[in-house]
Structure 1
Amino acid sequence: MRAKNTFYLLSSVVGVLIIWFMYESFNQPGVGQLEGEFQEMAFYRNENNTGPVKRIYAVYTSSENLEELEQYGKFMPHTKYGSTTVYFFDNVLNTPKQLNPNSPHFESTFERSCIAVYEKNAMGQESFRVQPFK
């Protein structure tokens, strides 16, 4: 009888742990939880799969909350020894549709509508700048 009770107890504990792990897996914070509107307009990723991966995003946003913009940048994927750059634009018509690997990554005509940039470099250091082209 004692072995049977131990089996039920351990089975219950394992069952609760599995349910808890599944709940935590499906309820991770993400971009969808941010209040502002975010629309990815352009994306560039280099073809290098053996070295540093360079990701560049151009994102239109209606949000003026700088904390939300920075949080959006933190949610974007980052690869060890790679870099991630997210440019935020406040005008959907003045957001680049194409990005290139060389800085400034888009035509200078779009610079005036860029309201912020989030960068995470190869060493994991983050920076967030408001009005980077002014």
Structure 2
Amino acid sequence: MKNTKRLYYLIGLVVLALLVWMMRDTFTQPGTDDLKMDFREVAAYRNENNTGPIKRVYAVVVSDSLWHEMEQYGKFMPHTKYGNTQVYFFTDEAHAPKKLNAEEPYFEESLYEYCIGRYEKKAMGQEGFVKYPFR
């Protein structure tokens, strides 16, 4: 009887430890707040197609040109299987698009020279980051 009670306490302790570990892991996931740069989304587009491929396009103003941080930000953006997510990075809000279009060109061609980076995640999960995509 005494050994059975110890076994129950041991099992309970293991279950409690696993729960604490899972909860800690759940609430400490990395996100955009953990990045060193400031990111401000100024425009976004998402098509209304919920049965087929979902296209997402974002225009983001950044505080610096840390390429790795921009790529990480792109990886944190939502993506749907068979969909396409594109993030365009700009350094100045005055030279960033206020509205994005459904088809290319997603924003005015006069703003191309101010775009410093583009992150894209394609339909089957292929990722790519391009510095100065319009030069």
Number of matched pairs: 134
Distance 1:115 1:57 in 2: 14
Instruction: Indicate whether 1:123 and 2:91 are aligned.
Output: no
Matched residue, 2:9: 8
CA distance in 2, matches of 1:82, 1:116: 20
The amino acid of 1:67's aligned partner reads H
TM-score norm. by structure 2 comes to: 0.97
Give the alignment of 1:1-134 within 5 angstroms. Answer: 1-134=2-135
**Partner secondary structure for residue 70 of structure 2:** helix
State the TM-score, normalized to the length of structure 1: 0.97
The answer for unaligned runs of 5 or more in structure 2 is none
Q: What is the deviation of 1:9?
A: 0.4
Q: What is the CA-CA distance between 1:66 and the residue it aligns to? A: 0.5
Q: Percent identity?
A: 52
1:83-108 CA distances to partner (integer Å, 9 max, x unpaired)?
A: 10000001111111110111120011
* Residue segments in structure 1 that go unaligned for 5+ positions in a row: none
**Which aligned runs of 4 or more in structure 1 are off by greater than 4 angstroms?**
none
1:71 deviation in Å? Answer: 0.7
Q: CA RMSD in A?
A: 0.7
